Amino acid sequence: MLKKSNLVLWGVVLFVAWNALILFFLWTRPQSSSDHSRLTEEVIRLAQDAEVELERQKDLLHQIYRYSALWNRRKATEAKRLHLSVASSAPPSTAAPLPRRSQISPDAVLPVLVIACDRSTVRRCLDKLLHYRPSKERFPIIVSQDCGHEETARVIASYGDAIMHIKQPNLSDIPVPTDHRKFQGYYKIARHYRWALSQVFRNFKYQAAIVVEDDLEVAPDFFEYFQAAFPLLLADPTLWCLSAWNDNGKEQMVDANHPELLYRTDFFPGLGWLLLSDLWDELEPKWPKAFWDDWMRHPEQRQGRSCIRPEVSRTMTFGRKGVSHGQFFDQYLKFIKLNDRFVPFTQMDLSYLKKDEYERSFLAQVYGAPELRVEELQGNQRRELGTVRVQYTTRDSFKAFAKALGSWTTSSPECPVPATRASSVSSSEAAAFT
């Protein structure tokens, strides 16, 4: 930590010295009256830029000092945990690279990264996380704030040492194409995600992280779910994330009597999800400038891998205000059902979610179900049939079926639906279009 602080200090010193030399050189050159006036303006501009940069460096240094003790405690806890779970062949003094999936302990610390901006209602999110959190040591909470919103910062600071509060230092506007000016917010969100995830995996050296946003409320078994599914993610390379969210989790579309049901999905759900450090190693170098969640759904990123998601969502969003101006909230998001029962996932065998076993069971269920037309399912008219199958052949037919059943349309030109595919759909739910 001291070495990192010294590097920051040397960076500040070199930055100031370089700018001072430039200013001295420009100032001592012979100038005409008009040139001198322009030079004065340029000096003032450079001085202002230098002041902004110094403030940014000072803020970063302040954060490093503020959390150095917490980082040291976390490292000590993690070292003890790893010592108890796996034998290390490297000597204690040897610096090792970030652990790969096979080296991560099933009992590793799982920090919750809360992405915040200008919602003072982040209190609702944090209160639920703290209320349901079973262990401060296993699930430390890090709130990463963008936007520089003072009221939100005061709310976050009011939690004291119960959470860690870090601030994204670069609040400047981002140059965007002319036709993307109205999407400036999406560019800033992508920049913030990249910075925050880099802090978690590069600076804090965590091996995994659960990501939520400041407008999400979590279910009573939110932590239980991730704790139980985490070893499965470590063991199965065909998985790349765990998600607490069901895109088609509207109350009338899910089986609320069976909140223990979990599925594999080819679609990246997000909205409360867990990723490993090795996935960030893969994604960080090519992280997009905007629309990061849509980008995650492209085949180039997914690479044939799946996520685990629940039948009944373990998160719900209460944030109508946002960069989408409430468009998706009013149409879909406000109708998502949040699970209200505690399911003891850690006492359950989740091995059925491994790829081979899951596909055998799921495909047998799909093709063993009776096939119906969409018209027969509208209005739940065939509810007594239980599980049924709807067959589609093109992206357009999928979108038409999804719209008719009130399901989320997950296909797009960047994320095409396979040419032929069957999905299992209960007559009382359309949640299996994933």
The single-letter DSSP state of residue 250 is B
The SS3 assignment for 311 reads coil
Domain-wise residue ranges, the chain: 2-83, 104-350, 368-426
Confidence (pLDDT) at 355: 96
E strand spans, 283-398: 306-310, 315-317, 387-392
E strand spans, 250-295: 262-265, 273-276
The SS3 assignment for 424 reads strand
The SS3 assignment for 102 reads helix
Report the C-alpha gap between 46 and 381 in whole angstroms. 71
Element (H, E) at 190: helix 184-198
Report the C-alpha gap between 196 and 144 in whole angstroms. 6
Tell me the two tokens of residue 336: 């998502």
Q: Amino acid identity, residue 321?
A: K
Rg (CA), the chain: 25
Backbone dihedral angles phi then psi of residue 213, each to the nearest 5 degrees: -110, 165
Report the C-alpha gap between 288 and 106 in whole angstroms. 30
Report the C-alpha gap between 207 and 277 in whole angstroms. 5
pTM of structure: 0.74
Report the C-alpha gap between 269 and 293 in whole angstroms. 9
Confidence (pLDDT) at 55: 65
Element (H, E) at 67: helix 33-85
Report the C-alpha gap between 138 and 313 in whole angstroms. 22
Axis crossing angle, helix 122-132 with helix 222-235, rounded to the nearest 10:
80
What does pLDDT average to in each consecutive run of 10 residues of the chain (434 residues)? 54 63 59 58 62 60 53 52 40 46 92 97 98 98 97 98 98 94 95 98 98 97 98 97 95 92 96 97 98 97 97 91 60 90 98 96 92 80 73 88 78 32 32 32
Confidence (pLDDT) at 91: 38
| Cα–Cα nearest to 167, from 37, 59, 7 | 59
Q: Amino acid identity, residue 274?
A: L
- For 104-350, give the CATH class: alpha beta
Q: Are 63 and 203 in contact (CB under 8 A)?
A: no
Neighbours of 403 (CB within 10 A): 12
Which of 107, 118, 281, 293 does the annotation list as catalytic?
A: 293
Tell me the two tokens of residue 263: 């599925």
Confidence (pLDDT) at 83: 44
Q: Is 293 an active-site residue?
A: yes
Largest CA distance in the chain: 91
Tell me the two tokens of residue 194: 């990249």
